[in-house]
Homo-oligomer: A and B are copies of this chain.
Amino acid sequence: MASEPVEEEYISDIGPPYFRDMLPPVIKNNYGKWKYHEVLKPGVLVHVAESGDKVYTVRAANPRLLSIYTIRELCDLADKYCDGYIRFTTRNNIEFLLTDESKIDDLIKEVEELGFPIGGTWDATKAKYSLSNIVHTQGWIHCHTPAIDASGVVKSIMDALFDHFRNMDLPGLCRISLACCLNMCGAVHASDISLVGVHRTPPVVDDDAVRRTCEIPSTVSGCPTGALRPDMKNKTIKVDESKCMYCGNCYTMCPGMPCFDPENGGVAILVGGKLSDARAPSRLSKVVVPWLPNNPPRWPEVVDTIKTILETWAADAKPHERIAEWIDRIGWEKFFEKTGIEFKVQLIDDFRLPRHTFRTTTQFKW
């Protein structure tokens, strides 16, 4: 329902503010004319323009869920050090842009006092990479379909991997992402390490809810495995549980059939995705752990597994080598051996025509 109308000149479709009105002068003046950049220390970059102008970037962590009261505090710092400009990154870090190098350390001090550690940068020239923020989703904070929480898992992981955010001590870029259900709003399908909330039980149909709230034919035809059948007599939907792989699409379409199950839902872990085309071409992530328990408030099994993967890679990878490239070199069998992760039968694709994922070569290692 539209909320109550307001009678005055109605402004709509104005779109976002023009970004140029939001740019600090040094950016505006050197727009499109940057020459190179350097990483001064973890969390601090300098970009040098053809004009000789320099802009210093100080990058701070961000839980993404921010109170307006915190935003105002951040704005205070931006006013003090950055002439009233502030920026966020595509991974939700906060960026302060300065022109005066001498102010950097003071700024850092104040930002950290506010509770926002500095880091998350990487220096390709030196092959020194820090871990950046985890891209994530709503979880129990706001969504109706999550198999797990989002922010809490992220917090637990980042606490455990915190040093890698502060220091550029990893051999290559490593992006972690999280989505709380298979809709994958965190778009975890192409990250070095990703976590996704998974259900493991078929939907529980509430006939009454289905009757009240669902479009039966489209829900039925929306099931990717054909596990649903309309029960027209009773105006409801029947589930062939043996065909269901718990994707939750039916619940997205029809509130009458949730898959939730506190003990059986959990976390799947994927690795080896990559977005950039640097060196090896970009690619999708692959599932390496089909399920870990949903264990709030700190998800220890999940944190341990992520840590193991990350540290195993970090210790074994050559400079610049991301997880995908590391696995290209060592082979999947060695990935499982080195990380100690068990190769479960669920990791073998059985959706649609999976043959192109099957190993058709005798080239493997022992």
Partner among B277, B356, B361, B363 whose Cβ is within 8 Å of the Cβ of A361: B277
Central interface residue in A283, A352, A360, by most chain B CB within 10 Å:
A360
Instruction: Determine how close the nearest CB of chain B comes to the CB of A27; give it in whole angstroms.
Output: 26
- Let me know if A353 is at the binding interface, CB within 8 A: yes
Residue pair A277, B352 in contact (C-beta under 8 Å) = no
Chain B residues near A352 (CB, 8 Å)?
Answer: 352-353
Instruction: Determine how close the nearest CB of chain B comes to the CB of A190; give it in whole angstroms.
Output: 9
Residue pair A281, B356 in contact (C-beta under 8 Å) = no
- Give the complex CA separation of A283 and B282 in angstroms: 21
- Let me know if A89 is at the binding interface, CB within 8 A: no
- Let me know if A51 is at the binding interface, CB within 8 A: no
A residues 321-366 near B (Cβ < 8 Å) are 352-353, 356, 360-363
Chain B residues near A353 (CB, 8 Å)?
Answer: 352-353
Chain B residues near A361 (CB, 8 Å)?
Answer: 277, 281-282
- Give the complex CA separation of A283 and B281 in angstroms: 20
Instruction: Determine how close the nearest CB of chain B comes to the CB of A282; give it in whole angstroms.
Output: 5
Cβ contacts A194-235/B at 8 Å (1 or 0 each): 000000000000000000000000000000000000000000
Residue pair A277, B362 in contact (C-beta under 8 Å) = yes
Chain B residues near A282 (CB, 8 Å)?
Answer: 360-361
Instruction: Determine how close the nearest CB of chain B comes to the CB of A324; give it in whole angstroms.
Output: 12
Chain B residues near A362 (CB, 8 Å)?
Answer: 277
**Cβ-closest chain B residue relative to A353:** B352
- Give the complex CA separation of A283 and B353 in angstroms: 17
**Cβ-closest chain B residue relative to A351:** B353
- Give the complex CA separation of A352 and B355 in angstroms: 12
Instruction: Determine how close the nearest CB of chain B comes to the CB of A200; give it in whole angstroms.
Output: 24
Chain B residues near A363 (CB, 8 Å)?
Answer: 277, 281
A residues 269-283 near B (Cβ < 8 Å) are 277, 281-283
- Give the complex CA separation of A277 and B362 in angstroms: 7
**Cβ-closest chain B residue relative to A278:** B363
Residue pair B356, A283 in contact (C-beta under 8 Å) = no
Instruction: Determine how close the nearest CB of chain B comes to the CB of A48; give it in whole angstroms.
Output: 26
Instruction: Determine how close the nearest CB of chain B comes to the CB of A21; give it in whole angstroms.
Output: 32
- Give the complex CA separation of A356 and B361 in angstroms: 18
A residues 40-84 near B (Cβ < 8 Å) are none
Chain B residues near A277 (CB, 8 Å)?
Answer: 361-363
Chain B residues near A283 (CB, 8 Å)?
Answer: 360
- Give the complex CA separation of A209 and B360 in angstroms: 42
- Give the complex CA separation of A356 and B282 in angstroms: 13
Chain B residues near A356 (CB, 8 Å)?
Answer: 356
Would you list the 10 A-B pairs with minimal beta carbon distance, nearest first?
Answer: A281-B361, A352-B353, A356-B356, A281-B363, A277-B361, A277-B363, A277-B362, A282-B361, A353-B353, A282-B360
13 A-B residue pairs with CB within 8 Å: A277-B361, A277-B362, A277-B363, A281-B360, A281-B361, A281-B363, A282-B360, A282-B361, A283-B360, A352-B352, A352-B353, A353-B353, A356-B356
User: Which residues of A line the B interface, CB within 8 A?
Assistant: 277, 281-283, 352-353, 356, 360-363
New contact pairs (10) apart from A277-B362, A281-B360, A356-B356, CB-CB < 8 Å? A277-B361, A277-B363, A281-B361, A281-B363, A282-B360, A282-B361, A283-B360, A352-B352, A352-B353, A353-B353
